[in-house]
């Protein structure tokens, strides 16, 4: 309730894509294009051990043999993989995060502009009682800083950049990297395995409830470069973590590729809550020029009994979104959840959803998807729910709602349901509605302006999902919903 009101308050501040600025700093690039040498360059830049390089090279070899998938309901010109930079990093930090004083002030200013607290005291000096959260800031291909590491280390939680984890915790990385999303899982995941740059690494030891929210803030700055982040989160027996990622990029009129891989591992009785607020530059709303191609593989392995993984995503940006955060429900009684708000406006195309793969007995999953299409955009929900022979007593509930704003947009729902045993119970509900002129008039008759009325109605539509976000991000997400739909009516 308060949240909806907040949006109404914030409508006055609305503007078009506001993270579209470019930070002018000196950067290191890998030579343009992709080859085994590019892979070696990246690995060397990061000072990686030999095993990591071999892992990457093997991925590169496999990638050469794969074909770009074409089954998603999105259209884009053929990507020339040789016409992009695969590594871009701010000049100074040769390897990994530094102390804040050594970070280029321009970069700090960038994050300040984005409202991301990188100084721990800024977080502490915030509103009384506001929960603390630790931040890993990834700027193009490298992590520039990670906050609250000491405080987290005191309880045994490892939160650092992937590059640092490869150097400092090789035993964990070698054990789990690629164990959820195998190297050649799909075209984009394979590409990522070869050239991934940075991302976050989290390990929560048995029985520990992570004392604060962890978050990673991804920023693409360089032109003509892709971002290939890799995130790995391992939560041991009986441990808990809540993690959030945010993403923005400058406005550029060429397309940029973002092909990330996120792997989550949940042991017995572990709980992972993973939230995403994705606001990559969506491209020009009229011509469709530019914007990020967001081709992401996210998967959780509920390896342990009674483990639980909850994905919550608010997808508002990107020219094209191709993303299906999934749960492999292996452990007995494990639980997977997927809460999604996907908004497309202008010329955006989204093909997103989830996969709930029930392998263990008495596994449960829940999918709540809210798609909103406006402008000339296309929004597809694609979801798989499957129960394998051993998954006796598996249960799924899926609710999939689409809201259309205007007459030139499209919404599609593509559910795949496979039950390979007779004791699984799957429920699927889907609705498609158009934002009703009657409701709009009703709200306006009460005094709300048209934009305000749309915000209020849309917030009502997505409320079930917004409630799943950590409080401090729910407000942010709501603002984003408002901004994304600005000018979509009338």
Partner 1 sequence: MLSIKNLHATVADKPIIKGLTLDVPAGEVHAIMGPNGAGKSTLSYVLTGRAGYEVTDGTATLDGEDLLSLDPNERAARGVFLSFQYPLEIPGVPALTFIRAALNAQRKARGEPEVGAPAFLKLARETAASLKIDFDMLKRSLNVGFSGGEKKRMEIFQMAMLSPRFLILDETDSGLDIDALKIVAAGVNAMRSPDRAMLVITHYQRLLDYIKPDRVHVLSAGRIVASGGPELAHELEREGYDKYGKAA
Question: Under the rule (CB under 8 A), what is the footprint of partner 1?
Answer: 1, 4-5, 8, 436-439, 441-450, 452-453, 456-457, 459-464
The answer to whether residues 144 and 136 touch, using CB atoms and an 8 Å cutoff, is no
Collapsing DSSP states into helix, strand and coil, what is residue 471? helix
Integer Cα distance of 216 and 233 in angstroms: 12
Task: Name which of 8 and 367 has its Cβ closer to partner 1.
Answer: 8
Q: Considering the complex, what minimum distance in angstroms separates the CB of residue 128 from partner 1?
A: 19
CA distance 488 to 490: 7
- The overall longest dimension of the chain from CA atoms, in Å, is 68
Name 150's Cβ contacts closer than 8 Å, sequence gap at least 6: none
- φ, ψ for residue 87, nearest 5 deg: -150, 125
The nearest distance, CB 442 to partner 1, in angstroms, is 4
197's CB contacts (< 8 A; 6+ apart) are 42, 86, 87, 89, 140, 141, 142, 227, 228, 229, 230
Give bridge partners of residue 185 from the DSSP assignment.
Answer: none
Contact 218, 229 (CB under 8 A): yes
How many CA atoms lie less than 13 Å away from 369 in the CB half-sphere?
33
Specify the DSSP element, H or E, that contains 169. none
Task: Provide, rounded to whole angstroms, the least separation between the CB of residue 354 and partner 1.
Answer: 22
Nearer residue to partner 1 within complex by CB, 200 or 312:
312
C-alpha to C-alpha distance for 128 and 119, rounded to whole angstroms: 17
Which helix (H) or strand (E) is 438 found in, with range?
Answer: helix 437-445
* Tokens 């494990």, located at residue: 334
Alpha helices in 139-207 (DSSP H): 149-154, 162-168, 170-176, 187-195
Residues 465 and 484: beta-carbon distance below 8 Å: no
CB of 5 to partner 1, least distance (A): 6
Burial label, 33 (beta-carbon count in 10 A; 0-12, 13-18, 19+): middle
CA dist., res. 427 & res. 415, Å (int): 11
Nearest distance from C-beta of residue 35 to partner 1, angstroms: 51
Q: Which is nearer to partner 1, 161 or 459 (CB)?
A: 459
Shortest Cβ 464–partner 1 spacing (Å):
7
Closer residue to partner 1 (CB): 416 or 442: 442
Of 428 and 463, which has the nearer Cβ to partner 1? 463
What token pair was written down for 306?
């009674």
For residue 396, the minimal CB distance to partner 1 (Å) is: 23
- Give 105: exposed, middle or buried? Use CB within 10 Å, 0-12, 13-18, 19+: exposed
Counting every residue written for the chain, the total comes to 490
Q: Which is nearer to partner 1, 127 or 154 (CB)?
A: 127
Q: Which residue, 389 or 460, has its beta carbon nearer to partner 1?
A: 460
Task: Select 179 or 439, whichever has its Cβ closest to partner 1.
Answer: 439
Smallest gap from residue 371 Cβ to partner 1 (A)? 15
430, β-bridge pairs: 400
- Cβ 54 to partner 1 shortest distance, Å: 52
> Which tokens in the block code for residue 223?
């032109």
Q: Strand 230-235 to strand 200-204: parallel, antiparallel, or no bridges (unpaired)?
A: parallel
Question: Which lies closer to partner 1 via its Cβ, residue 249 or residue 462?
Answer: 462
Beta carbon of residue 481, minimum distance to partner 1 (angstroms, whole number): 12
**Which C-beta is closer to partner 1: that of 75 or that of 445?**
445
Whole-number Å distance between alpha carbons of 18 and 107: 17
Q: Is 423 or 436 the residue whose CB approaches partner 1 more closely? A: 436
80 vs 438, which CB is nearer to partner 1? 438
User: Minimum Å distance from CB 465 to partner 1?
Assistant: 10
Nearer to partner 1, 422 or 490 (CB): 490
Nearest to 240 by CA among 276, 201, 200, 204: 204
Closest contact distance (angstroms) between CB of 248 and partner 1 is: 27
């Amino acid at each position: 309730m308060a949240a909806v009101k907040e949006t109404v308050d914030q409508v006055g501040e609305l503007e078009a894509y506001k993270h579209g600025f470019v930070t002018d700093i000196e950067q290191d690039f890998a030579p343009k294009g992709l080859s085994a040498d590019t892979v070696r360059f990246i690995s060397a830049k990061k000072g990686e051990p030999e095993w990591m390089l071999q892992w990457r090279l093997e991925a590169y070899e496999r990638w050469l043999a794969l074909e770009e998938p074409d089954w998603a309901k999105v259209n884009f010109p053929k990507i020339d993989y040789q016409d992009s930079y695969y590594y871009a990093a701010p000049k100074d930090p040769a390897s990994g995060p530094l102390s804040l004083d050594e970070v280029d002030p321009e970069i700090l200013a960038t994050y300040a502009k984005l409202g991301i607290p990188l100084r721990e005291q800024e977080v502490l000096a915030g509103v009384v009682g506001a929960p603390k959260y630790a931040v890993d800031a990834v700027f193009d291909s490298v992590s520039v800083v990670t906050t609250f590491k000491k405080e987290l280390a005191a309880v045994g939680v490892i939160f650092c950049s992937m590059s640092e984890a490869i150097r400092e915790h090789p035993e964990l990385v070698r054990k789990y990297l690629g164990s959820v999303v195998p190297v050649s899982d799909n075209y984009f995941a394979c590409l990522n395995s070869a050239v991934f740059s940075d991302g976050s690494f989290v390990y929560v030891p048995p029985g520990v409830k992570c004392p604060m929210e962890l978050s990673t803030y991804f920023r693409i700055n360089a032109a003509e470069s892709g971002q290939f982040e890799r995130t790995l989160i391992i939560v041991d027996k009986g441990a808990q973590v809540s993690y959030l990622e945010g993403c923005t990029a400058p406005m550029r009129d060429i397309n940029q590729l973002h092909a990330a891989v996120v792997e989550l591992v949940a042991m017995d009785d572990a709980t992972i809550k993973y939230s995403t607020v994705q606001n990559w530059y969506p491209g020009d709303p009229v011509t469709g020029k530019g914007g990020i191609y967001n081709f992401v593989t996210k998967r959780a392995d509920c390896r342990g009994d009674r483990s639980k993984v909850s994905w919550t995503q608010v997808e508002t940006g990107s020219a094209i979104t191709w993303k299906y955060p999934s749960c492999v429900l292996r452990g007995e009684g494990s639980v997977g959840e997927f809460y999604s708000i996907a908004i497309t406006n202008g010329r955006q195309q989204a093909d997103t959803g989830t996969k709930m793969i029930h392998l263990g007995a008495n596994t449960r999953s829940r999918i709540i998807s809210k798609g909103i299409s406006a402008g000339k955009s296309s929004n597809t929900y694609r979801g798989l729910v499957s129960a394998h022979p051993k998954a006796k007593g598996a249960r799924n509930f899926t609710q999939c709602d689409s809201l259309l704003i205007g007459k030139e947009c499209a919404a599609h729902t593509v559910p795949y349901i496979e039950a390979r045993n007779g004791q699984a119970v799957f429920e699927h509900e889907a609705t498609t509605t158009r934002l009703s002129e009657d409701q709009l008039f009703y709200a306006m008759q009460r005094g709300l302006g048209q934009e305000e009325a749309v915000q209020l109605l849309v917030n009502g539509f997505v409320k079930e999902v917004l409630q799943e976000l950590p409080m401090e991000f729910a407000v942010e997400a709501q603002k984003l919903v408002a901004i994304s739909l600005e000018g979509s009516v009338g």
